[in-house]
Amino acid sequence: MTEIALLVQGLLDGSIYALIAVGLTLVYGLLRILHVAHAGLFTLGGYVGVVVTNQTGSFVLALVVAMVVAGIVGMIIYRLVYQPILHLPPYVALIASIGLFIAMQEGFRFYDEQGVSFVDAPLQGTVAFAGQNLQIAKIVTFFGAIILIGGLGFLAARTRTGVAWRATVTKPKMAESFGINIVRVRYLNFFIGSALAAVAGVMVSLTTNLVEPTSGDVWSYKALAIIVLGGLGSMRGTLIACFALGVIEAYGTTSFLGAIMNRDAIAFAFLVVVLMIRPQGLFVRT
Amino acid sequence: MESLLNAYDMSLIRTAAIMVIMALSLNMITGFCGQISLGHAAFMGIGAYTSVKLSINGIDFIYGTFAGMALAGLLGLIVGLTSLRVRHDFLAITTMGIVFLFSGIVEQSKYLGDTDGLSGYPHPAYSDFTYMMLTILLAIAVVALSFYIKRSWMGAAFKSIGDDEDTARVLGINVPLYKLSAFVLGTAIAGLAGSLYAHQTTIIQAENFGFIESITVLSMVVFGGVGSIAGVTIAAVILTLLPLWSQAIGEYKLLFYGGLLFAMMRFAPYGLAGLAQRARLLLTRRAGTAR
């Protein structure tokens, strides 16, 4: 494989990380919670996407349904799980979230242990590029992620809701005293973050054509590593870390490192090394 | 007494004793010293793999166990060094990374049996009963050590670091020294648990010491009440035996764990110890009004 091909492969994977990690960063920025159960919503999105596509034959409809369902479940999680324990030490929410994630996984297992696949999966072809076949589904994901995250950035920068949102993240007390309904901002936050995770779940299920109860595991653990790398709560840092990790994994697995550790271990080795040098992450929120 | 227990009972008791050792070792790091670890099972794995590798090379179980403890403690020291720089949520994710590093390296290594794991290694020449008694005695020893540490000067220093690290530093407590001590002690004892575990089963694989296992151990600490020795010991026994006893839970073991972790954090964030304290308060208050 050529260097260029590895770079492209890494960037394509990075866009999937980005779709997942944006929601995690939003939650961390607002509530200081490591939202492990986010990965459950990724898997939920995958299941809904596959089932609805198979039932109705429309992939676009399935994508929208998956986003809405995951978004609503995300808001329910905030209301029932996080809101009552916000005043407790941070490890409480972290462990509650891990528990919820494990329980969600088992829930998927009850629904369908073997996992579900598309009957007639769309976007299955490949494109030859720099001596390598790239999956069309991954390319669509890449541009989709750029449009969605770019749109979100526009929303945050230019609209009244966006301003209220950013104000709440930076200075929650101050924002509240200016009449912003911070609880509504939190719901919005969970809805958008979860919907983006669902998009990632649906798109990943296209590339593998299989959604299993454990599909979300590795993605979610790495997404947690990414938001830590990005400096916890820094959106720009997170996005850079997503693409950096994608590229490092692509190069790492083909280098000498690939002989002594697997892809996931390379990602976490990178995390540990970076944190030893910069304990506050690559980018600190100002 | 030996005739009262069949082989299955003895294996249950052994497993429970090993999990008590494991949970108490994490309790030293997370409970006493306030340093959260999501990767504790990796150190159990290091103890297990070291001990098994040495026993394959003809070295006695006892020396193998000590070597496993030493290596686990040494790597624990290195992870402890990260805790000097990385704090809170960052530390949680770093320790999670450690467990993936461990399994990622073991599963790529031919020497360590890659994904198939190691099997068919020699066991120490103890009877089932003797081995069970050994694990029980070691579990009791770890309980005693925990109480000793908690009441010692070191325990007080741990607690001050767990409560507020910066204040502890201002008070002149050597924070790095005590943090590293907590990590070395806790991980070395996890190595002991690993060696004991490896020699009561016939195969060890990286997935026996993965993230789920780490969370299982953490759930014992949390269920018992972070820092409470009695609570964590009871929780380790209950959470080990319940899924094995009850077939229904056995099948839904993970759902049970997940639900339990979640419910405990949501409704009783201070665990069994917290519940006990609440009950005690309630009782004394009632006794007070009766008078």
Sequence-distant contacts of B233-237: CB under 8 A, at least 24 apart = B233/B20, B233/B23, B233/B24, B233/B143, B234/B272, B235/B23, B235/B271, B235/B272, B236/B16, B236/B19, B236/B20, B236/B22, B236/B23, B236/B24, B237/B16, B237/B19, B237/B20
Output the average pLDDT for chain A.
Answer: 85
Indicate the helix (H) or strand (E) that contains A126. strand A126-129
- What's the whole-number mean pLDDT along residues B263-277? 83
Nearest CA in chain A to B263: A96
Check residue A57 and give its pLDDT: 85
Mutation pick from B88, B89, B98, B216 vs chain A, by most beta carbons of A within 10 Å, is B89
Q: Which residues of B touch A107 (CB under 8 A)?
A: 255
- What's the whole-number mean pLDDT along residues A216-228? 84
Nearest CA in chain A to B219: A95
**Distance (Å) from the C-alpha of residue B127 to the closest C-alpha of chain A?**
38
The pLDDT-based confidence of B288 (bands split at 50, 70, 90) is: low
Measured torsion, CA atoms of residues B44, B50, B56, B57, in degrees rounded to the nearest 10? -160
| Beta carbons of B112 and A276 less than 8 angstroms apart | no
User: Has residue A282 been placed in a domain?
Assistant: no
Check residue A194 and give its pLDDT: 93
pLDDT at A126 over 90: no
Measured torsion, CA atoms of residues B197, B199, B204, B206, in degrees rounded to the nearest 10? 40
Radius of gyration of chain B (CA): 19
Radius of gyration of chain A (CA): 19
Bridge partners for A134 per DSSP: A127
**Distance (Å) from the C-alpha of residue B233 to the closest C-alpha of chain A?**
19
Mutation pick from A272, A283, A284, A285 vs chain B, by most beta carbons of B within 10 Å, is A272
- Read off the pLDDT of residues B60-114 as tens digits, 9 standing for 90 and up: 889 999 999 999 999 999 888 888 887 777 888 888 889 999 988 898 888 887 7
User: Has residue A32 been placed in a domain?
Assistant: yes
Check residue A164 and give its pLDDT: 86
User: Has residue B188 been placed in a domain?
Assistant: yes
The DSSP secondary-structure symbol of A116 reads: B
Check residue B223 and give its pLDDT: 85
User: Has residue B119 been placed in a domain?
Assistant: yes
ipTM above 0.90, yes or no: no
User: Has residue A284 been placed in a domain?
Assistant: no
Query: Which residue matches tokens 């770890």?
Result: B142
- What's the whole-number mean pLDDT along residues A191-198? 92
Q: What percent of chain A has pLDDT over 90?
A: 16
- What's the whole-number mean pLDDT along residues A247-272? 82
Check residue B81 and give its pLDDT: 86
Check residue B208 and give its pLDDT: 87
The tally of domains found in chain A comes to: 1
Q: Which residues of A touch B221 (CB under 8 A)?
A: none
Check residue B207 and give its pLDDT: 85
CA distance B166 to B54: 43
Q: Would you tell me which residues 209-238 of chain B have a C-beta closer than 8 angstroms to some C-beta of chain A?
A: 211-212, 215, 218-219, 222, 226
Phi-psi region for residue A209, left (φ > 0), alpha (ψ -120 to 50) or beta? left
What CATH number did the domain enclosing A203 receive?
1.10.3470
The pLDDT-based confidence of A90 (bands split at 50, 70, 90) is: confident
Q: Which residues of A touch B226 (CB under 8 A)?
A: 91
User: Has residue A285 been placed in a domain?
Assistant: no
Bridge partners for A127 per DSSP: A134
- Read off the pLDDT of residues A3-40 as tens digits, 9 standing for 90 and up: 788 888 888 888 989 999 988 888 888 888 888 889 89
Structure tokens at B156: 């007080």
Structure tokens at B180: 């590293």
pTM, entire model: 0.85
3-state secondary structure of B40: coil
Query: Which residue matches tokens 């999501």?
Result: B38
Q: Which residues of A touch B33 (CB under 8 A)?
A: none
The tally of domains found in chain B comes to: 1
User: Has residue B219 been placed in a domain?
Assistant: no
- Read off the pLDDT of residues B1-54 as tens digits, 9 standing for 90 and up: 566 778 888 888 899 999 999 999 999 998 888 888 888 999 999 999 999 999
Which range of A83-97, A262-276, B32-46 scores highest in mean pLDDT? It is: B32-46
For residue A162, the enclosing domain spans 3-277
CA distance B105 to A263: 10
CA distance B256 to B239: 10
User: Has residue B77 been placed in a domain?
Assistant: yes
The DSSP secondary-structure symbol of A135 reads: E
User: Has residue B140 been placed in a domain?
Assistant: yes
Check residue A282 and give its pLDDT: 76
- What's the whole-number mean pLDDT along residues B252-281? 81
Q: Of A102, A266, A98, A80, whose CA–CA distance to A187 is shortest? A: A80
- Read off the pLDDT of residues A231-254 as tens digits, 9 standing for 90 and up: 777 788 888 888 888 888 888 888
Structure tokens at B129: 């009963």
User: Has residue B236 been placed in a domain?
Assistant: no
Q: Which residues of A touch B109 (CB under 8 A)?
A: 260
CA distance A26 to A38: 11
A211 phi and psi, to 5 degrees? -120, 120
Nearest CA in chain A to B111: A260
Report CB contact under 8 Å: A106, B219. no
Beta-carbon contacts of residue A231 (< 8 Å; ≥ 6 apart): A237, A238, A280, A281, A282, A283, A284, A285
C-alpha dist (Å) from residue B31 to A129, A243, B87, B225 = 53, 37, 16, 8
| Beta carbons of A204 and A16 less than 8 angstroms apart | yes
User: Has residue B203 been placed in a domain?
Assistant: yes
Mutation pick from B35, B101, B215, B220 vs chain A, by most beta carbons of A within 10 Å, is B101
Q: Would you tell me which residues 85-124 of chain B have a C-beta closer than 8 angstroms to some C-beta of chain A?
A: 85-90, 92-94, 96-98, 100-101, 103-105, 107-109
| Beta carbons of B92 and B98 less than 8 angstroms apart | no
Check residue B250 and give its pLDDT: 63
For residue B170, the enclosing domain spans 2-208
pLDDT at A1 over 60: no
Inter-helix orientation angle B175-198/B7-26, to 10°: 170
The pLDDT-based confidence of A177 (bands split at 50, 70, 90) is: confident
Beta-carbon contacts of residue A105 (< 8 Å; ≥ 6 apart): A40, A43, A213, A214, A216, A217, B254, B258
Least reliable range by pLDDT among A210-214, B101-105, B229-233:
A210-214
Check residue B49 and give its pLDDT: 94
User: Has residue A22 been placed in a domain?
Assistant: yes
The pLDDT-based confidence of B189 (bands split at 50, 70, 90) is: very high
- Read off the pLDDT of residues A133-160 as tens digits, 9 standing for 90 and up: 788 888 888 888 889 988 988 888 888 8
